[in-house]
Structure 1
Amino acid sequence: MSEPTIKPDREPLPDATPIIAYSPIILDVPGRQVPLEVKVTMPTTGDDLPILLLSHGHGASNFLSSIRGYGPLVEFYAAHGFVVIQATHQDSKTLALDPKGPEGAVFWRSRPLDFHAILDRLDEIEAAVPGLAGRTDRDRVAVVGHSMGGHTTAVLAGATVTDIHTGEKVDLSEPRISAFVTIAPAGGPEGAAPWLREHYPESVQTDYGTMTRPVLVVAGDKDFNPNFSTRKDWRADAYNLAPSPKTLLTVFGAEHIFGGISGWDANETSDENPERVAELQRATWAYVRSALFPEDDAWSQVVDGFASDDDAFARVDRK
């Protein structure tokens, strides 16, 4: 994929700054089968930097579903003022853990708990990264997740999951997070295809009715896989089934990887489109920025731009 560009008239953005990345930071977390790998990507300058947690998808690739993936998003967010913290969740192929455990192949419960642990241990993480200590604003924390990472984000925002083994309705919401972006999360039970129910039964036990926090839901209007659902709007359930306030960003022409957000030149991208990646970078950054800094009108600029552009890449709905 070539370097994405943004149209000159669509930039509520500060200039990009140089970034550095540090990994792995290894955290021993009780209850995990393996230690938690963490990667930090940050601007080289600046203080009082907000924190953005990035949750990878389950994915078909070997390494993108880990701290090694999602460079197009991670590098953009860091270059525009965020300290980005990634986790390698236990469903990552890099770990090769047994997919038949009590959480199933997607490790739905431990994924949000990874971010609970990261927030609990920010002192340790900051101390491990040269030049980071004292530079973060811990009162401004956001989370962005894609696919299964989008589901993780929704759970952190209050969506509950029914454990298929115990019948328990599990709440793993995280009040220390203030802004949520869920990109192409799994939908609800209605419309879930038989293949998905057989292979990933845990992923269709989600109740979005309990997700009361403000959330940006991102859905591609071409993100349709009959193995997952018979409904073409299934990936928008996190918006349609959740109570207000919610925002839906429908990306026109986007399939599941949204032009290539999971990695530079990723083979799993079926809709490779550098401009789409650039627009999604900008839109999600602007939403998070305005959610954490209400005086910043970056998101309203993006919304106004979509509304006035006959060739806009997306539509915004709100409730």
Structure 2
Amino acid sequence: MSDPRVKAGVLLALTGLGDQLTPFAAEHFPFMRPSFDTMTTPALIVAGDNDHSHLSTRGPDWFTDSYTHSQGAKSLLTLFGAEHSLGGIPGYQVDETTDESPARVALIQHLTTAFLRSSLYAGNTSWQSAATALEADPDPLGKLQSK
């Protein structure tokens, strides 16, 4: 599916390819067979390096498939130590948040906002500034790569 009005995307803990689902997931979630071949819209994909899904036979790299298998301009933010809630995206002190980290959530907020500003407003340098700051951080919460 695509919509020409969508000019950029932010994808948080997006599932990976459906060819490596657990037998339970393959049986009960047949819609989980995405293809990223035609995903050409610029996007920031955010994944945790400690995100182990019960739906996939793979490890945390499963959540990076949208970056690996898509075309066009993409960036991947891999958060160190982050599980599926990426530090608390669903909310603080909720059952789904097993890796609560206000610092991680703040970083996601800063980087996603910068990415969208620069993607949607020509000449905006927020994304480059944010990426440079993350790279210069002596104790970063994650790493960024782009293609």
User: Which TM-score band (shorter chain)?
Assistant: over 0.9
Amino acid across the alignment from 1:220:
G
Identity %: 40
Distance, in Å, in 1 between the alignment partners of 2:140 and 2:55 is: 28
Q: What is the CA distance between 1:228 and its match in structure 2?
A: 1.3
- Show the 5 A alignment for 1:89-168: none
Higher helix share: 2
Secondary structure class of the residue paired with 2:114: helix
CA distance in 2, matches of 1:309, 1:286: 17
Equivalent in the alignment of 1:244: 72
Corresponding residue for residue 228 of structure 1: 55
Give 1 or 2 for the bigger CA radius of gyration: 1
Number of matched residues? Answer: 146
Q: Tell me how far 1:207 sits from its aligned partner.
A: 1.0
- Unaligned residue ranges in structure 1 (runs of 5+): 1-171
Give the alignment's Cα RMSD to 1 decimal.
1.2
Counterparts of 1:190 and 1:292 in 2: how far apart (Å)?
A: 34
Determine which of 7, 13, 16 is the counterpart of 1:184. Answer: 13
What is the TM-score of this pair, normalised by structure 1? 0.44
Structure 1 residue 190: deviation in Å? 3.0
Name which structure has the greater RCO, CA cutoff 8 Å, separation 6+: 2
| Higher relative strand content | 1
Give unmatched runs, 5+ long, in structure 2: none
Q: Give the TM-score, by structure 2 length.
A: 0.93
Task: Return the offset for 1:268.
Answer: 1.3
2:112 to 260, 284, 294: 284
Q: Work out the CA distance in 1 between the residues paired with 2:122 and 2:144.
A: 19
Distance in 1 between residues matched to 2:19 and 2:95, nearest whole Å:
31
The one-letter amino acid of 1:190's match is D
The counterpart of 2:34, out of the listed 206, 211, 227, is: 206
**CA distance in structure 2 between the aligned counterparts of 1:280 and 1:262, rounded to whole angstroms:** 13
Separation in structure 2 between the aligned mates of residue 264 and residue 222 of structure 1, nearest angstrom: 19
